[in-house]
Amino acid sequence: MIAILSTTHGPGHGAEVVLCELLRAWHDETLPVTVVAPPGSAAAAVACEVGIRWVQLRTSRDAFLLNATAGHAATAQLRGCRLIHAWSARGLELSWWIGRRLDAPATATLHDHPDAPAHTTLRKRLCRIAANLQDAIAFPSAALEAAWRAAGFTRSSRVIPNGSSGLRRRQRERDGDELVIGFLGMYAPWKGFEIVQSWARADWPERVRWLFFGETAAALADTAAGLAAELGRRVRFEGAQPRERI
């Protein structure tokens, strides 16, 4: 049995969407999964929805002593787990702690850059230490793996791109020679809009139209408005949309 550990409360964002897709697609009866996640989290809700065992993890964001206590309480319900897998950087120390107590390997999937601005200085340092205590780590891209290597990560790793269980790419005819490019990170300043907006302003050898998805973060509002005014119909801000629409 594998324990997948998520410390994210509420619906979460991209990493939790990928985790929920994984849980919905998991049909391997020879390798059962237990989800360890906070009450009210997306991971807990989907686990209950699809009949996967759920163990409560009563953590709080970066409350290290409280989280250690929560991990201790969850451990009693994880006897028999052969692997403890953290689903984000915030779960690294807990996966290692629980793995040590169960004498099981600890692994993780890391979606965040080692210098992610959403992390405090203490969290960044702890992530670097805890990452090198894992038996192995999966990364969704080679670029992210390289960033962690540059930050001092030395353990075994593998690149496994994110996927989706229920979506298929829709074939569409181009509108003449127009290329449409979508960006899904408007809800947070650190998702790369500053880089992408410079691409939108660049000279392209073909007609390009840009669609920006997600509720625009307050810190990006002025830049987004300026881009829309400058490029006109070449840019459209769609706001939050269901994945089928995207």
Rounded to two decimals, the pTM is 0.76
CATH architecture of 2-159: 3-Layer(aba) Sandwich (3.40)
Q: Residue 68 pLDDT > 80, yes or no?
A: no
Whether pLDDT at 62 is above 60:
yes
State residue 171 phi and psi, 5-degree precision: -80, 125
Q: What's the average model confidence in pLDDT over 29-39?
A: 90
User: What does the pLDDT look like over 140-150, one tens digit per residue?
Assistant: 888 889 999 99
Q: Tokens 């979606």 map to which residue?
A: 111
* Closest C-alpha to 77, from 56, 61, 49: 56
Contacts 24+ apart (CB under 8 A), 148-156: 148/110, 148/114, 151/114, 151/115, 152/128, 153/114, 153/128, 155/131
Statement: residue 52 has pLDDT above 80 = yes
d(CA 220, CA 233): 19
**Number of CB atoms found within 10 A of residue 244's CB:** 8
Question: Sign (positive/negative) of CA torsion 92, 214, 219, 226?
Answer: positive
Q: Name the amino acid, one letter, at 185.
A: G
pLDDT digits (tens, 9 = 90+) for 120-139: 898 899 999 999 999 999 99
37-53: average pLDDT: 93
Q: Chain centroid to CA 19: how far?
A: 8
Count, residues in the chain: 246
Low-confidence winner among 21-25, 28-32, 36-40, 226-230 (lowest mean pLDDT):
28-32
pLDDT of residue 242: 82
The share of the chain scoring above pLDDT 90, in percent, equals 47
Backbone φ and ψ for 222, nearest 5 degrees, come out as -65, -45
Number of neighbours of residue 245 by Cβ within 10 angstroms: 8
The partner residues of 137 in beta bridges, in order of sequence, read 108, 157
Average model confidence (pLDDT) for the chain?
87
Other beta carbons within 10 Å of 16: 22
**Amino acid at site 224:** A
pLDDT tens track for 183-200: 988 988 878 888 899 999
Query: What is the spatial distance between Cα 245 and Cα 240, in angstroms, rounded to a whole number?
Result: 10
